[in-house]
Amino acid sequence: MATDFAVSLRRFLTGHLAGLRGYSPNTIASYRDAFKLLICYFRDQRSIPPEKLTLDLLDAAAITGFLTWLRTSRGNSASTCNQRLAAIDSFFGWMQTQDPARMACYQDILAIPASRHDQPAVAHLSVERTRRLLAAPDRSTRTGRRDATLLATLYDTAARVQELADLTVRDIRLDNPAMVALTGKGRKTRHVPLDANTTALLAAYLAEQHLGGPGTEDHPVFFNQHRAKLSRGGIAWILRKYRARAADPALTNAHLSPHTLRHSRAMHLYDAGVPLPYIRDILGHVDLSTTEIYARASTEAKRKALEAVYDDVVTADLAEWNQNSELLDWLADL
- Give per-residue pLDDT as tens, 30-56: 889 999 999 999 999 999 999 999 999
Q: What is the rounded average pLDDT of the residues 224-233? A: 91
Does a structural domain hold residue 333? no
pLDDT computed for residue 233 by the predictor: 93
pLDDT computed for residue 187 by the predictor: 78
Q: Cβ neighbours of residue 217 under 8 Å, at least 6 residues apart?
A: 168, 169, 170
- d(C-alpha 122, C-alpha 296), whole Å: 9
Are 40 and 72 in a shared domain? yes
- Minimal CA–CA distance to 89: which of 117, 120, 67, 69? 67
Are 66 and 134 in a shared domain? no
Catalytic site residues?
A: 160, 185, 259, 262, 285, 294
Q: Which residues pair with 173 in a beta bridge?
A: 179
Within 10 angstroms of residue 171's Cβ, the number of other Cβ atoms is: 19
Within 10 angstroms of residue 200's Cβ, the number of other Cβ atoms is: 15
Q: Is the pLDDT of residue 20 over 70?
A: no
Range of the domain at 191: 127-306
pLDDT computed for residue 220 by the predictor: 95
Burial class of residue 215, CB neighbours in 10 A (0-12, 13-18, 19+): exposed
Q: What is the rounded average pLDDT of the residues 315-328? A: 51
Q: Which residues pair with 191 in a beta bridge?
A: 181
- Give per-residue pLDDT as tens, 120-174: 556 788 888 888 899 889 999 999 999 999 999 999 999 999 999 999 999 999 9
pTM of the complete model: 0.61
Mean pLDDT of the chain, nearest integer:
84
Are 84 and 204 in a shared domain? no
Does a structural domain hold residue 55? yes
Are 172 and 245 in a shared domain? yes
Are 85 and 136 in a shared domain? no
Which of 63, 81, 110 delimits the end of a domain?
110
Most confident of 12-21, 61-70, 126-135: 61-70
Helices 258-271 and 299-310, packing angle to 10 deg: 10
Q: Is the pLDDT of residue 309 over 60?
A: no
CATH of the domain at 72: 1.10.150.130
- d(C-alpha 61, C-alpha 1), whole Å: 27
pLDDT computed for residue 316 by the predictor: 46
CATH of the domain at 175: 1.10.443.10
